[in-house]
Amino acid sequence: MTSFAPRAPYASDPSRSRGREFSIENGIARGARSPYQRDRDRIIHSIAFRRLRYKTQVFVAPDGDHYRVRLTHSLEVAQIARVIARILGLDEDLTEALALAHDIGHPPFGHAGEDALDAALHKAGGFDHNAHTLRTLMRLDSPYCEHDGLNLTWETLEGLAKHNGPVTEPTWALAELDAAYNLDLGTHASLEAQVAALSDDIAYDNHDIDDGLRAGFLDLDELLAHPFVVDHWAEVERRYPGVPLDRQLAELIRSQIGVMVNDLVAQTQKNLVGIGSIDEVRHAGRALVAFSPEMAEGERAFKRFMYEKLYYHPEQLETAKRARALLAELYSAYSQETVLMDESWIDTMPRFEPDRSRHIADYIAGMTDRFAIARHAEIYGRTPEGLSNV
């Protein structure tokens, strides 16, 4: 039976939070919730989080109800991350908040949309979805009367900024936010942020198998023969002979998630020997939450397989090309005629560059796939073809 550790000395402690950017809330007691619980709840109730329901995960604007989208992916990441955090004695609420928010900065059409906005802003500093997550939560999504943004705790913002490691060369968006509220970009993030980052990998490594097979983009025999999968599949067949294939595949995905979680926990516990505080975590010089070398090597090889067979599938690449063209045309239209934007965005349009171009990109980045398609049809009088490949 799995044992769950009490709060570890290297965990983030809500009672010792560094507070929030806008000090109007610092030190204010708000019922029974901890600061990290409030962060999680603010994220869940935000408009930006709700929009993830109609934003691309792997497949653009999927017609089928069973494909993952950014919202369901984020929920799966949060589930995995909470389990790991509990076993390691970390703060589950902070971990969950980071997992739920990690993809909020994605524009419509996933990485294809990011590429389009990055190209559109080539004279204005470019576009990066990680930095845009912070920009959205700290400035754009503003439901409160007292301040801009959601005013999340320093620990949540720091974790979102550095979940992939220290940031030595921040983009303009992250640099601006860091100048306003120092996020200590040069150090490693908390263990909670590191757990959320690798939970993201565990989730999409496995649920993309399900979606790829459902779409017919992955060849079942090739998949089941891959070294990362083959032993797990043999065990599933041994334990469940004669069971329908769809149930066996679901068991394969479940078992692989479990194996990866257990490996990560065991290796991380080894890495944490001698670590006695969160300050030591931040100055460890390396990420402490990690897979074993063997698992890391196997996971990297499996990612290469998935990129070749799924993410870079010819149909995927063609759909991404169409998505980039759509967003480029939207950006061009709004740049030439800002009156085409929603009224609230027209009213707040900056007069000068680069803020003007960045404002237009903010507007487009907040769109869902289907909203972007609809606005393009309104402006250009046609509905783009081939934007959903499943």
* Percent of the chain with pLDDT strictly greater than 70: 96
Reported confidence tier of residue 3, pLDDT bands at 50, 70, 90: low
Span 10-28, pLDDT tens digits: 999 999 999 999 987 655 5
Residue 189 has pLDDT above 90, yes or no: yes
Q: Is the pLDDT of residue 117 over 60?
A: yes
The predicted-structure confidence for 151-167, as pLDDT tens digits, reads as follows 999 999 999 999 999 99
Q: Tell whether the model's pLDDT for residue 4 goes beyond 70.
A: no
Q: Say what the pLDDT of residue 65 is.
A: 86
Mean pLDDT across 335-364: 97
Cα–Cα dist 87/311, whole Å: 33
pLDDT range class, residue 383, cuts 50, 70, 90: confident
Least confident of 33-37, 59-63, 196-200: 59-63
Average pLDDT of every residue of the chain: 95
- Rounded mean pLDDT, 187-206: 98
CATH class of 33-389: mainly alpha
Per-residue pLDDT, averaged over 349-354, amounts to 97
Amino acid at 311: Y
Q: What is the mean pLDDT of residues 276-282?
A: 97
CA–CA gap between residue 265 and residue 289 (Å, rounded): 8
pLDDT at 371: 96
- Is 263 a residue whose pLDDT tops 80? yes
- Distance, CA of 64 to CA of 26 (rounded, Å): 45
Q: Which amino acid is located at 298 in the chain?
A: G
Residue/partner pairs of 196-199 with CB below 8 Å, 24 or more apart: 196/77, 196/81, 196/95, 196/98, 196/99, 196/102, 196/159, 196/163, 197/102, 197/163, 197/164, 197/289, 198/264, 198/289, 198/290, 198/291, 199/77, 199/78, 199/80, 199/81, 199/84, 199/99
Residues 6+ apart with CB under 8 A from 117: 107, 127, 327, 331, 361, 364, 365
Q: Model confidence at 1, in pLDDT bands (50, 70, 90)?
A: very low
Q: What is the pLDDT of residues 224-250, one digit of tens each?
A: 999 999 999 999 999 999 999 999 999
- For residue 5, is pLDDT > 60? yes
pLDDT score for 185: 98
Q: Are 156 and 174 in contact (CB under 8 A)?
A: no
Give tens-digit pLDDT for 92-112.
Answer: 999 999 999 999 999 999 999
Give the residue from 147, 55, 155 showing the smallest Cα distance to 97. 155
DSSP-assigned beta bridge partners for residue 69: 56
298's CB contacts (< 8 A; 6+ apart) are: 227, 228
**Residue 207: how many CB atoms within 10 A of its CB?**
20
